[in-house]
Amino acid sequence: MSERVKREPTKLVPVPSTNIIPERDVDKTPILECRHLGIDFGGLTAVNDFNMAIGRTEIAGLIGPNGAGKTTVFNLLTKVYQPTRGTILLGGVDTHSMSTVQVNKAGIARTFQNIRLFANLSVEDNVKLGLHNHIGYGMWTGIFRLPSYWREERIAHERAMELLSIFDMEGLADVKAGSLPYGAQRRLEIVRALATNPSLLLLDEPAAGMNPSETAELMDNIVKIRDTFQIAVLLIEHDMSLVMGICEGICVLNFGQIIAKGTPDEIKNNPEVIKAYLGSRKEG
Amino acid sequence: MKKTLKLSKTSKGNFATYGMVILAYAILQFLGSNAVREGGLLSPTLRGQLVPICAYVVMALSLNLTVGILGELSLGHAGFMSVGAFSGTIAAIALQNTIPAGGPRLLIAMVIGAAFATVAGILIGIPVLRLNGDYLAIVTLAFGEIIKSLITNLYVGKDANGLHFSFITNNMRLGEGGQMLLNGPMGINGINKISTFTAGFVLILIALFVIFNLVNSRSGRAIMALRDNRIAAESVGIPVTKYKMMAFVTSAALAGSAGALFALGQNSLISTKFDFNTSILVLVFVVLGGLGRMWGSIIAAAALTILPEALRQFSDYRMLVYAIVLILVMLATNNPTLKGFFAKLFRKPEEVETGKGGEGK
């Protein structure tokens, strides 16, 4: 782990439903609370009895071996799949019966494990699509180029540039998203997700395919995003330097079941986690 | 100043397309003018083809919105043309005494054609746009056939009391001075040709204006986002059905007005004219011109509408030569060496891209 990413450990405190969140967020409703969440595909139980809470400004991690159900949890949270049982509370509001689009409007934005950009559109248009629900003109205004078209497009352009500047990507605004290098595509996905103005950002393996220095930079940026936008982040990641470096609360999943929850130090030394996932040679 | 700077890249291509259409119109108008006509520069056959060419260009443009921009394969586009053609023509004939002037009547016919096609587009869109890919293609194909059979069995008459409709059998008793407008399988006969090349030219410009401005707006971005990645589009809060519907219905409305333009340039009209072959023909224009490339659709539609006439000298082998030409053009336009050569020649940003707009789903 590089020097620049060493951070003060956060104290986690329990909330009523046996979940833990950072001490500083404890007087606010957790942004996300899952209660006994589960989904079956036919006879196969992919996720079962998943309980988790995330504080308003927490960076949380979800780790576990391949096929443990991590991405399935993301798909449940964003309603790509409807849960078979259990409840998801987003800022205290039940998301039952919401669609993917409604969940996004309610405040969850995500990135994808296998990058899903709008590959034939420019980088700027990709970000503007994230801003879609914050641009206020309709079809006819667009066709007839009424004054509000020019006004709204100018605001969207400025906002898009501002968001791209988080990752120093303003210079790439006119490039086709599909022709960006891999790392830049991952960063663009994060910018696009941020553009929807979420209160919870889900990152699915944000550091996949990045080299150690890119990963270190990404860690700083995730923390910067949390600090600037005051949002919560939940990330899936296999890179333990990233998870142990920036996550405050970590949840370990194995065969669809949570096997451990706690601070990075607790997780690192949990014998069950070491057996199921980390392996005996300790990392970090 | 900032506006022009920001939009310059796409705008340049769009203005070039407008320019190309206006230039083609000016040249054809000049060649068709009385002074030159004596010299026989524009053959009577070609002059008769001008209105159908305009109609097919608008058809290709509108289908390109569904196939190239939205990325959904529609095999029933002729169905919307048919709805527009028959509703527009019936309106034009019914209004013959009220509005004797051809121009305004054509305008009303095209608006009515577009309106009826819009309704058809919404009706078919509600169930169909929940489907994806092959399923959508098959259902639109069925829709085209349904429209054809419906119109084949529809009778419309007019007398002093107004319009009369009957279905399957003609059992209407028209009053004194009554007139059959649509005679089932016999279609509509004795149409007063009011479509002009100028009207067709204006309709092409309108279609280009609507499509270009729609594509370069918030709604157009959302439509293209659905094409590139539906799951990602949903994840950033873009309602899928709404924007699919928007593209599909806009496309249907333009096809409806093209149908009205086409029909009012013919002497007679039967519903079998707008069958599966016509849908495929328009799809060929779109694929040949390049998915998402509007100027390509215009050139392909114009060239392939003229081609069968130009090949008359081959008499019996006409369609064989037509097919061979199609295959050769397809091979040529997909040849990387040639493509690179043309890209260098014109230095247009769209041409460097390989025209694979719709493949990113």
ipTM: 0.88
Please name the residue that has the structure tokens 């401005």: B213
Q: Assess whether pLDDT exceeds 80 at residue A77.
A: yes
Average pLDDT over residues A84-107: 93
More confident site: B171 or A283: B171
Domain tally for chain A?
2
Please name the residue that has the structure tokens 């003060």: A8
**Residue B299 belongs to some domain of the structure:** yes
A175–chain B Cβ distance below 8 A for any pair: no
More confident site: B212 or A9: B212
pLDDT score of B79: 96
Average pLDDT over residues A236-244: 94
pLDDT band at B167 (very low <50, low <70, confident <90, very high): confident
Where a domain ends, among A161, A191, A221? A191
**Residue A259 belongs to some domain of the structure:** yes
**Residue A216 belongs to some domain of the structure:** yes
**Residue B12 belongs to some domain of the structure:** no
- Cβ of B224 within 8 Å of Cβ of A133? The answer is no
Residues of B in contact with A101 (CB under 8 A): 234, 237-240
Query: Do A206 and A174 lie in a common domain?
Result: no
10 Å CB burial of residue A44 (0-12, 13-18, 19+) is exposed
Give the pairing type, strands A32-41 and A200-204.
unpaired
Give the pairing type, strands A44-54 and A257-262.
unpaired
pLDDT band at B11 (very low <50, low <70, confident <90, very high): confident
**Residue B340 belongs to some domain of the structure:** yes
**Residue B64 belongs to some domain of the structure:** yes
Query: Do A100 and A145 lie in a common domain?
Result: no
Query: Do A235 and A273 lie in a common domain?
Result: yes
Task: Give the burial string for B334-346 (b: 16+ CB within 10 Å, else e).
Answer: eeeeebeebbeee
Query: Do A97 and A138 lie in a common domain?
Result: no
B238–chain A Cβ distance below 8 A for any pair: yes
Type and span of the H or E element at A220: helix A212-229
**Residue A284 belongs to some domain of the structure:** no
**Residue B337 belongs to some domain of the structure:** yes
CA distance to partner chain A, nearest, from residue B49 (Å): 31
Q: How many angstroms separate the Cα of B202 from the Cα of each of B25, B264, B266, B271?
A: 10, 15, 19, 26
Where a domain ends, among A155, A176, A191? A191
CATH number of the domain that residue A92 is part of = 3.40.50.300
pLDDT score of B351: 39
More confident site: B81 or B324: B81
A121–chain B Cβ distance below 8 A for any pair: yes
Query: Do A142 and A26 lie in a common domain?
Result: no
Query: Do A218 and A83 lie in a common domain?
Result: yes
**Residue A112 belongs to some domain of the structure:** no
B188: DSSP letter: B
Give Cα B255 distance to the centre of its chain: 4
Query: Do A243 and A259 lie in a common domain?
Result: yes
A197: DSSP letter: -
pLDDT score of B35: 58
Average pLDDT over residues B266-294: 91
pLDDT tens, residue by residue, B303-314: 988 888 777 777
One DSSP character per residue, B6-64 reads: HHHHHHHHHHHHHHHHHHHHHHHHHHHSHHHHTTTSS-HHHHHHHHHHHHHHHHHHHHH
- Cβ of A133 within 8 Å of Cβ of B213? The answer is no
Query: Do A219 and A254 lie in a common domain?
Result: yes
Q: Residue B115 is which amino acid? A: A
As given in the structure block, the two tokens for residue B333 are 């336009």
CA distance to partner chain A, nearest, from residue B229 (Å): 6
B 23-42 residues with CB below 8 A of A?
none
Cα angle: B324, vertex B329, B332; to 5 degrees: 125
Task: Say if CB B21 and CB B53 are below 8 A apart.
Answer: no
pLDDT score of A193: 97
Please name the residue that has the structure tokens 């791209």: A164
Q: Assess whether pLDDT exceeds 80 at residue A9.
A: no
Q: Assess whether pLDDT exceeds 90 at residue A127.
A: yes
Nearest to B250, CA basis, from B289, B297, B214: B214
**Residue B233 belongs to some domain of the structure:** no
A14–chain B Cβ distance below 8 A for any pair: no
pLDDT score of A230: 94
More confident site: B355 or B35: B35
Which residues in A15-97 belong to E strands, given as ranges? 20-22, 32-41, 44-54, 59-63, 85-90, 93-94
User: For residue A168, what are the domain limits?
Assistant: 118-191
More confident site: B114 or B9: B114
Where a domain ends, among A150, A173, A191? A191
Cβ-based neighbours of B75, under 8 Å, separated by 6 or more: B137, B138, B140, B141, B144, B276, B279, B280, B283
Weakest mean pLDDT among A193-202, B333-342, B351-360: B351-360
φ/ψ bin of A65: left (φ > 0), alpha (ψ from -120 to 50), beta (otherwise): beta
Pick the residue from chain B with its C-alpha nearest to A122.
Answer: B221
**pTM (two decimals):** 0.87
Average pLDDT over residues B69-84: 94
Average pLDDT over residues A93-118: 94
More confident site: B5 or B54: B54
Query: Do A100 and A202 lie in a common domain?
Result: yes
B234–chain A Cβ distance below 8 A for any pair: yes
- Cβ of A133 within 8 Å of Cβ of B237? The answer is yes
Mean pLDDT score of chain B, rounded to an integer?
85
Residues of B in contact with A144 (CB under 8 A): 213
B231–chain A Cβ distance below 8 A for any pair: yes
Task: Say if CB A207 and CB A243 are below 8 A apart.
Answer: no
pLDDT band at A3 (very low <50, low <70, confident <90, very high): very low
Give the pairing type, strands A232-236 and A200-204.
parallel
Average pLDDT over residues A213-223: 94
> Taking CB atoms and an 8 Å cut-off, how many pairs form between chains A and B?
104
CA distance to partner chain B, nearest, from residue A8 (Å): 33
pLDDT band at B7 (very low <50, low <70, confident <90, very high): low
Other Cβ atoms closer than 10 A to B169:
9
Query: Do A182 and A236 lie in a common domain?
Result: no
**Residue B336 belongs to some domain of the structure:** yes
As given in the structure block, the two tokens for residue A232 are 């919560």
- Cβ of B218 within 8 Å of Cβ of A109? The answer is no
Mean pLDDT score of chain A, rounded to an integer?
90
User: For residue B201, what are the domain limits?
Assistant: 27-33+46-210+248-355
**Residue B105 belongs to some domain of the structure:** yes
Q: Residue A262 is which amino acid? A: G
Query: Do A150 and A14 lie in a common domain?
Result: no
Domain tally for chain B?
1
**B238 vs A120, A129, A143: nearest CB:** A129
Query: Do A100 and A122 lie in a common domain?
Result: no
High-pLDDT (> 90) share of chain B, %: 53
